[in-house]
Amino acid sequence: MVMTDSKQGKILIVDDNEDLLKAAKMHLKRHFAQVDIEKNPDAIPGLMNQEDYDVILLDMNFTKDVSSGSEGYYWLEKILSIDPSAVVVLITAYGDVQMAVRAIKAGATDFVLKPWENEKLLATLYSSMRLRESRDQIQTLKSKNHEINQAINEKYKDIIGQSQAMQRIFQTIERVAQTDANLLILGENGTGKELIARAIHRNSSRKQESFVSVDLGSITETLFESELFGHKKGSFTDAKEDRPGRFELANNGTLFLDEIGNLSMPLQAKLLTAIQNRKVSRVGSNKDTAIDIRLICATNMPLYEMVKENRFRQDLVYRINTIEVEIPPLRERIEDIPLLANHFLKQYASKYGKNVSKISEAAMTRMTKHPWPGNIRELQHSLERAIILSNSSVLQPEDFNFSASNVKEVDQQINLDQFNLEEVEKLLIRKVLKKYNGNITQAASELGLTRSSLYRRLEKHGL
């Protein structure tokens, strides 16, 4: 048998014979990382809650019943009820073929007779350990396959845009997709950061593997480790089964962490450790699992300002932003608005069975002049609402619920028939700066911009 230098595996031996337990431990501890022994089978549930054993060697007969094996079958059933993937090898001095067959049918992995030959026992345990590893891998693959199928079945909308800003984004995707460099995608809410991440994955060498998306803003502090790193059954109240975390599900593929700016400092430290070590440990287990992922993060928050304010770890920023991509807001790519609007028109007219085939010129003009603070997501919802409520085949301005406050503000300053997007933007920036007495950080946050983006607009408008 080929042996490795480093010992691995956790073995639990349960038998009422103390001499046998001591002898077995003395022999096996030279070959395995941990060997626990227990005389009383009633202690099995507590031991299994404390440790994640690779193999459990279980005596068939305890003091109450020395030959039938019924106690062994009882505890086999108990073990499998605690952990259905447990690997149990039954041992007895009174074994026969019928008992062996019944034990295997009841869920045992193998069956050995005592007194055993040391080499045969080792061979059985190593074989059983490989079975446990295979079961864990199968469970992870099942979960990963579920994630892949969800991603495939999800309605995916291609990135739409012909503006220079979007052409630069497409060029960036082509350049970085084939690398494994970590990416940080910056942009306001609704700009399509996840679509960009998916496009990078689809054009990468990992495209046949899973793309796992995690909205960090929706995960509570208490569930963070469970969601990202997984958990063992019984590790907390609602942990009813073993479950791989998102890092394991994304193994060999791409992990997309959205809203990373929302993480608290303690959670940032845990995430940084996993990224640096490239391995995770499920909650309730001290067994590390190596991970190989392409990491893409995204946020609409000013991370660099947060670093200065000690609200975000600088070392974590360095880890996640090997390459940085900033997605422009919709108001900076107005030439793409007609393309997007017509795309959503076709999509929702078909979805709701509405005979709406066109957007009037007046309505399209209003669209290109509207600031769209909610970006593409707001445009999408506006088209959906207009199509649902419209009784005409052509959408008109009145079919859209443009912000009354924006129109009122513009109406006070300029002629509605002549105003343009730049004037609206300049007016809004001036108003917000006045509101915060020129504080760039607060103004940028109110406008949904990064500080650098706001500075560029100030320079453009001469403010």
Residues 285-299 pLDDT 10s: 888 999 999 999 999
What share of the chain in percent tops pLDDT 90? 42
Copy the structure tokens of residue 261: 């700016």
Residue 420: pLDDT above 80? no
Stretch 254-261: mean pLDDT, rounded? Answer: 96
Q: Which residue has the tokens 């199509």?
A: 387
User: What pLDDT, on a 0 to 100 scale, did the predictor assign at position 429?
Assistant: 84
Residues 92-148 pLDDT 10s: 766 556 776 777 887 888 878 777 888 888 888 888 888 887 777 776 676 666 565
Start-to-end CA span in the chain (Å): 77
Integer Cα distance of 212 and 242 in angstroms: 19
Stretch 257-265: mean pLDDT, rounded? Answer: 94
Q: Model pTM greater than 0.75?
A: no
Stretch 386-411: mean pLDDT, rounded? Answer: 73
> Is pLDDT larger for residue 161 or for residue 184?
184
User: What pLDDT, on a 0 to 100 scale, did the predictor assign at position 5?
Assistant: 47
User: What confidence category does residue 68 fall into, taking pLDDT thresholds of 50, 70 and 90?
Assistant: low
Stretch 148-161: mean pLDDT, rounded? Answer: 55
Residue 338: pLDDT above 90? yes
Reported for 443-447, long-range contacts at CB under 8 A and 24+ positions apart, including other chains, are 444/302, 445/302
Stretch 412-425: mean pLDDT, rounded? Answer: 55
User: What pLDDT, on a 0 to 100 scale, did the predictor assign at position 184?
Assistant: 97
Element at 31 (helix H, strand E): none
- Domains in the chain, please, with CATH? 10-134 (3.40.50.2300), 162-326 (3.40.50.300), 330-402 (1.10.8.60), 404-463 (1.10.10.60)
